[in-house]
Chains A and B, each alone.
Chain A
Amino acid sequence: MHPASIQGEKMEVAYYPGCTLKTNAKDFEETAIKVFELIGIEFKELDKWYCCGTVYSLATDNLMYRLAGIRNLIRAKEEGYEKLLTLCSICYNTLKQANLMAKSDKEAMEKINAFMDEEPDYDGSVDVIHPLQLIDKKFYEIKERVKKPLNKKYAAYYGCLLLRPKEVAIDEYENPSIMERLIEAMGGEAINFPLKNECCGSYNVAVNREAVIERTYRIVLNAKKNGADGIITSCPLCHFNLQEMQKEVKKIHSDFSGLPVYYFTEIMAEAFGVKNEGR
């Protein structure tokens, strides 16, 4: 029936949590570890890791701010891994861009390796991956695990950092579909959602909140008008903005009724019937 997927094949993958997964986004980590284990992918948390520095620094001469990413990649390599997985979209983007630099910018890496003389040299050999990239080969296992088909309509919100810059895109950057296929595989309906790759306003929430309130309004309203019962994401900052700013939206637009926002692993846990297990 599903000749392409190999049933029962287990894999272990190095896992970089990042700061927010241990605090605000604990639900994301807990459900992710659980549901991926059920489809044969075990997360092995790195023994040692540091904050990735969040948003990637873009200036040509700003190597200092890229060290944190490189150090984490060195930790993964030291522990013998060739791939490093991370759940948070921002960590993914930052580590991935740091690794692309390590692979392609010899001059920068000479400086970085010389500067971090306490560390072994790094050559870009650890591939940074996001769990959504592993799902493509796991649809057989996912369908097998579904105990409670979702029977709801979801808007798949990708935001920016899983898709851009295009060198780091986990999927087609203007029209990704992996989360939609996941929703459908679990008996849900993925709605049409043209704003799925439009920014939520990101760190503007710390200082320029009006902008993020406006973004939330536009994005959630668009999902709602297209019939969604909920929104799914893989970014703790998108999750915070889209969820928490809805309260502020309501103060401005009294007719706005809002939508719940979930991590994609939460609806997987829901469908697999393991949502509140062991908590």
Chain B
Amino acid sequence: MDTILSKVEELSGENLYACYQCGKCSAGCPMVEQMDFLPNQIILLIIRGDNSVVESKTPWVCAQCYQCGVRCPKNVDITKIMEALRLLKLRKNVDYIKISGMKKNLPQIAVVSASRKYTG
């Protein structure tokens, strides 16, 4: 049976067991204040097989800034793990936002990237 771990590993291409929970990813993540779980905690939840991780706010706050990945001493690219978690929702046709609910007067670049990351 597919577990949350196997699904995330498949989508992200990352080996989550490589993580030794040093916390460097979370120390450098600029978005932690808005998250409900820190990036390293997300890894822990997935490894424990906690399916509720797909309801976490964290991957939706992640700005795909790649800071966690470049600083991880174990080469775990959490940026890709966050994308995998978003896709587990989006591919079930559950959009995180309605396009009509987006703020107004944004540059194209914000509209296109937000619709890529928040809608399926």
Q: List chain A positions with a Cβ less than 8 A from chain B.
A: 18-20, 23-25, 51, 53-62, 65, 88, 90, 160, 164-166, 173-174, 197-199, 201-211, 214-215, 236-237, 240
Q: Is the CB of B103 within 8 A of A205?
A: yes
The residues of A that contact B117 with a CB separation of less than 8 Å are 55, 203
Instruction: Give 14 new A-B contacts, CB below 8 A, not counting A197-B67, A199-B30.
Output: A57-B116, A58-B79, A60-B13, A164-B65, A164-B70, A174-B70, A199-B65, A199-B67, A201-B31, A203-B110, A203-B113, A204-B61, A206-B111, A237-B113
Q: List 30 A-B contacts (CB under 8 A).
A: A18-B109, A19-B109, A25-B107, A51-B108, A54-B112, A54-B113, A55-B113, A55-B117, A58-B79, A58-B83, A59-B84, A59-B87, A60-B12, A61-B11, A90-B109, A160-B67, A164-B66, A165-B77, A173-B70, A198-B30, A198-B65, A198-B67, A205-B106, A205-B114, A206-B102, A207-B96, A207-B102, A207-B118, A208-B34, A240-B110
Contact partners of A211 in chain B: CB under 8 A: 31, 33-34, 61
Interface residues of B in 10-58 (CB under 8 A from A): 10-13, 30-31, 33-34
Is B6 interfacial (CB 8 A cutoff)? no
Identify which of B65, B80, B101, B116 contacts A54 (C-beta below 8 A).
B116
The chain A residue with its CB closest to the CB of B106 is: A206
Most buried by A among B10, B107, B118: B107
Query: A18 CA to B77 CA in the complex, in Å?
Result: 28
For chain B, the bracket of interface size reads: 35 or more
**Other-chain contact of B103, A165, A174, A207 (Cβ < 8 Å):** A207
Of chain A, the residue at the smallest CB distance from B69 is A165
Q: Contact: B107 with A240, CB < 8 Å?
A: yes
The smallest C-beta distance from A41 to any residue of chain B, in angstroms, reads: 24
A215 to B61, CA, bound (A): 12
Asked if B5 is at the interface of the complex by the 8 Å CB criterion, the answer is no
- Expressed in whole angstroms, the minimum distance between the Cβ of B80 and any Cβ of chain A is 5
| Inter-chain contact B61/A208, CB cutoff 8 Å | yes
B110 near A206 with CB under 8 A, answer yes
Interchain CB contact (< 8 A) of A20 among B33, B103, B109: B109
Q: Which residues of A contact B101 (CB under 8 A)?
A: 207
Q: Tell me, rounded to whole Å, the shortest Cβ–Cβ distance linking B44 to chain A.
A: 21
Once the chains bind, are A199 and B63 in contact (CB under 8 Å)? Answer: yes
Contact in complex: B65, A202 (CB < 8 Å): yes
Cβ-neighbour of A164 out of B13, B67, B113 (below 8 A):
B67
Are B114's CB and A206's CB within 8 A? yes
A160–B65 touching, CB < 8 Å: yes
Of B83, B97, B102, the most chain A CB neighbours within 10 A belong to: B83
Say yes or no: B110 contacts A19, CB within 8 Å: no
Q: Are A164 and B69 in contact (CB under 8 A)?
A: yes
**Contact: A19 with B108, CB < 8 Å?**
yes
